[in-house]
Structure 1
Amino acid sequence: MPLPSTTPTPRAAAPTRRRLLGATAGAVSLMALAACGGKDAGTHSGGGKSGSAPGTRTVDSAKGPVRVPARPRRVVAINDFPMSAMFDLGQTPAGVFDAGEEYVPERDLARWRAVPKVSDGVGGAVQVEKVAALRPDLIIGIDAQQNLPYDQLSDIAPTVLLPFSKSAAPWRDMSVQTAGVLGVPAALDALKKRYAQRTAALRKTYADVLARTRWDLLQGGFDEGQWWLYGHGSPIGGILADAGARFATASTRLAVQQSVSYELVTSRLADADALFYYTTNDGRPANLGPKLFAQQAFARLPATRAHRLFGSEYFLPGGFEDALAALDDFESALKKLKAA
């Protein structure tokens, strides 16, 4: 999802990827994402690094080395990046943070509903008592989570915070690192291959459409009178760029993302041939998207008038399956543009 406490969010305490990837321009970590990509968080030779007890491994984390079970069985995911990674790996967490089911992909919804929630309601703080009651042998979160009772959680079970704040593509890096912490670093290989094949196929199949279409990327945002513009270096921008997307001026000039006022809708989006935006899992524009779309300036945009608005609930991807689903939505848009 590294953000200051002033970051606008639908839930003040929610440490989710919607908050973390839907930040304003002042967010500290997302402005520094280009620094480096994450590395595999786990160490897997033998039973772990030298000095580890039998049945354990020592893995890297944002808090330094942490000794974890060689094969953890009861894992609590206190952020939805490791949760998404576990679902992608075919594993079910013992507990998860509750970011709200409207943001959970349909493919994971039944599993998600059955897993105990460890936050104080939807978007609330992580509750130590709820985590402890699940008797975890491993807890996984990310270093961007604020006011996290790390020491108390570490007293319950080994707690690994993944270095989100050093990641340019959290959906990929947090997945790879989660797999490493869980001791299954090769388990994502098939998904990595699928992603590479999918992006290559889209570039080839839709080369003509991709060459003539320029995209801007946006999210409705949470502050009245404001929406969020996403750039070529944002996670969703990187996924679409892998598939051959070209960007309009606004998303080309912007590295990651920024908050923009309604008054600037025309100046920022007027030269886009098509718009790609964030939806909830029922297909509606997410957050305050309906208010943005209702603005007269938005209705007069060339892309709007040409019916070239394309939504995706995977706009803020949490893992490889989300990235692949975002590519599916992008292909649906390309098919419509090709047929037009």
Structure 2
Amino acid sequence: MSLPSRPLAEPPAAAPAPGSGRPSGRPTRRGLLTAGAAGAALFGLAACGSGSTSGSGSGSGAKSAKSSGTRTVDTAKGPVKVPASPKRVVAINDFPMSAMFDLGLTPAGVFDAGEEYVPQRDLARWKAIPKVSDGVGGAIQVEKVAELKPDLIIGIDAQTTVPYDQFTALAPTVLLPFSKSKAPWRDMSDQTAAVLGVPDALAGLKKRYADRAAAIRKAHAAVLARTRWDLLQGGFDAGNWWLYGHGSPIGGILADAGAVFATGSARLAVQQSVSYELVTGKLADADAIFYYTTNDGKPANLGPKLFAQKSFQQLAATKADHLYGSIYFLPGGYEDAIAALGDFEKALTAL
């Protein structure tokens, strides 16, 4: 969650962006994730000092203070001067939105990719925030963004539906370098925090993530050693599903927890669209399968059609009932990554 995502709901392009559940070119990470209080179209960044100059060191952070009220940050579009303490931030992509929720902040507006992709923990807050897209999964509407009177707009560089200058005419606009990231949930979170002037605010979540991964590796070493995993998403176009590799965002998270991958995911760097005809060839030697769900626990996107295929029903993992789902399969930030580890540990416990 993710342009091509965190779920997105329409047919994907042939080469989806890393960690998305959608085709690149879409303004969303994977689906949706979050929210804030109903009347709260603005939020206060109490931790942002007006003269803050620190950066995250991850490629998009504050470089220097030009005045007591602004900072200059690195972006995919070059240096951009932003408010030192922004009050009305519109997140036009799911990644900065997720980062803001992880930071305890409420955006003034967010992209709408569909509430079924929003984790239950964030659903009530998310519903209360104004949406700036043309319906679910639609294009960003500049007019809706303008109505919210933002003092800062944050998105990612893979967004192409609206010309950049239409955003900059409304407020300073930061596009994060998503296209260069192999772990967008981590990099976009770190860079969003830096842009908002709180580069160290995620330290606690980073430690929780590292500690949880280490604890899983230790507590479930025996199961991890004997189990080979494949990773998949139902996909968006008829007759095809998506296989995820060891180098995908979810692959990296499970690997941190000690996962060993079956042939399909082990041989794949990131992710690819696969036809139903290749289900057996790609998944035959998996002992267990980890897959993407909506927030009601059901296989996301066209997952139900994939699972109903005879070839899928005959897989060893399916017959053994070793199918484990997670809405955090397309993580948008640290909380999602930690929750994905939690779902993975539940699977290991069941095994």
TM-score (ref. length: structure 2): 0.86
**Which residue number in structure 1 is paired with residue 38 of structure 2?**
none
Q: Distance in 2 between matches of 1:168 and 1:263?
A: 29
**Which residue number in structure 1 is paired with residue 120 of structure 2?**
106
Which runs of structure 2 are paired with 1:148-163 in the superposition (5 Å)? 148-163=162-177
The offset of 1:177, in angstroms, is 0.3
Q: Distance in 2 between matches of 1:83 and 1:324?
A: 17
The AA in structure 2 aligned to 1:330 is F
Q: Distance in 1 between matches of 2:302 and 2:17?
A: 13
The AA in structure 1 aligned to 2:287 is D
**Which residue number in structure 1 is paired with residue 62 of structure 2?**
43
The AA in structure 2 aligned to 1:249 is T
1:249 to 236, 248, 263: 263
Cα deviations by residue, 1:238-273 (Å, 9 ceiling, x for unpaired):
000000000000100000011111011011101000
The AA in structure 2 aligned to 1:256 is V
Task: Give the unaligned 5+ runs of structure 2.
Answer: 27-56
- Alpha-carbon distance change, 2 to 309 in structure 1, aligned in 2, over 3 angstroms: closer
The AA in structure 1 aligned to 2:158 is A
- Helix, strand or coil for the counterpart of 2:82? strand
Contact 2:92 2:111 in 1 (8 A): yes
- Helix, strand or coil for the counterpart of 1:112? helix
Contact 2:3 2:93 in 1 (8 A): no
Which runs of structure 2 are paired with 1:44-193 in the superposition (5 Å)? 48-49=64-65, 52-193=66-207
**Which residue number in structure 2 is paired with residue 327 of structure 1?**
341
The AA in structure 2 aligned to 1:22 is G
The AA in structure 2 aligned to 1:308 is H
Instruction: Say whether 1:259 aligns with 2:258.
Output: no
Q: List structure 1 segments (4+ residues) > 3 angstroms apart after TM superposition.
A: 11-14, 17-20
- Alpha-carbon distance change, 268 to 12 in structure 1, aligned in 2, over 3 angstroms: closer
- Alpha-carbon distance change, 166 to 180 in structure 1, aligned in 2, over 3 angstroms: same
Q: Distance in 2 between matches of 1:120 and 1:24?
A: 18
- Helix, strand or coil for the counterpart of 1:21? coil
More helix by share: 1
- Alpha-carbon distance change, 123 to 18 in structure 1, aligned in 2, over 3 angstroms: farther
Identity across the alignment (%): 74
Instruction: Say whether 1:194 aligns with 2:208.
Output: yes
Contact 1:13 1:124 in 2 (8 A): no
The offset of 1:39, in angstroms, is 1.3
The AA in structure 2 aligned to 1:21 is S
**Which residue number in structure 2 is paired with residue 215 of structure 1?**
229
Q: Distance in 1 between matches of 2:12 and 2:293?
A: 22
- Helix, strand or coil for the counterpart of 2:104? coil
- Alpha-carbon distance change, 58 to 199 in structure 1, aligned in 2, over 3 angstroms: same
**Which residue number in structure 2 is paired with residue 33 of structure 1?**
none
- Alpha-carbon distance change, 180 to 40 in structure 1, aligned in 2, over 3 angstroms: farther
Q: Distance in 2 between matches of 1:88 and 1:335?
A: 27
**Which residue number in structure 2 is paired with residue 268 of structure 1?**
282
The offset of 1:231, in angstroms, is 0.2
- Alpha-carbon distance change, 24 to 149 in structure 1, aligned in 2, over 3 angstroms: closer
Q: Distance in 2 between matches of 1:66 and 1:329?
A: 39
Higher mean displacement: 145-154 or 306-315: 145-154
- Alpha-carbon distance change, 246 to 229 in structure 1, aligned in 2, over 3 angstroms: same
Q: Distance in 2 between matches of 1:188 and 1:18?
A: 25
The AA in structure 2 aligned to 1:272 is A
Which runs of structure 2 are paired with 1:223-238 in the superposition (5 Å)? 223-238=237-252
The AA in structure 1 aligned to 2:277 is E
Contact 2:12 2:236 in 1 (8 A): no
The offset of 1:148, in angstroms, is 2.0
